[in-house]
């Protein structure tokens, strides 16, 4: 999508340091963290929301979760939250599927 900020990050049109990159996803720090550690797992394919996910995207969504798990290990997080915000009432602002990794709170 031409005007999608996450598509621009995926295509490296907006320079962003990736913690991790796979064939189908990238992971980078959230620009406005809501937790001591806050990363975003972003699909390379533009799907606007979990609401638009179809059967054929099941593996991709599973991949995002698996990439998040690998990143969390890399970041040394012993516990964390994985969050999809879905739709405006669900707090979604960027209409491109992404999974939040939130952690780093004191025990």
**Interface residues toward ligand 5GP, by CB under 6 A:** 5, 16, 28-32, 40, 85, 91-94
Residue closer to ligand 5GP (CB basis): 77 or 97? 97
Residue 46 interacts with Zn ion (CB under 5 A): yes or no: yes
55 labelled catalytic: no
Cα separation, 34 vs 5, whole angstroms: 19
> 38, 96, 98, 100: which is the annotated catalytic residue?
98
Bridge partners, 73 (sequence order): none
Choosing among ligand 5GP, Zn ion, none, which partner's interface includes residue 30 (Cβ < 5 to 8 Å by kind)? ligand 5GP
- Pick the closer one to Zn ion by CB: 25 or 77: 25
Residue 1 interacts with, from ligand 5GP, Zn ion, none (CB under 5-8 Å by kind):
Zn ion
SS3 for the chain is CCCCHHHHHHCCCCCCCCCEECCCEEEEECCCCCCCEEEEEEECCCCCCHHHCCHHHHHHHHHHHHHHHHHHHHCCCCCEEEECCCCHHHCCCCCCCEEEEEECCCC
Q: How far is the CB of 25 from Zn ion (least distance, A)?
A: 13
């Amino acid at each position: 999508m031409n005007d999608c900020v996450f598509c621009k990050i995926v295509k490296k049109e907006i320079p962003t340091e990736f913690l991790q990159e796979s064939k189908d996803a990238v992971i980078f720090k959230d620009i406005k963290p809501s937790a001591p550690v806050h990363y975003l797992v972003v699909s390379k394919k533009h799907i606007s929301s979990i609401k638009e996910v179809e059967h054929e995207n099941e593996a991709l969504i599973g991949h995002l979760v698996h990439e998040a798990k690998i990143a969390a290990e890399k970041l040394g997080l012993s516990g964390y939250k994985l969050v999809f915000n879905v739709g405006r009432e669900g707090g979604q602002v960027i209409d491109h599927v992404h999974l939040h990794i939130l952690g780093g709170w004191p025990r």
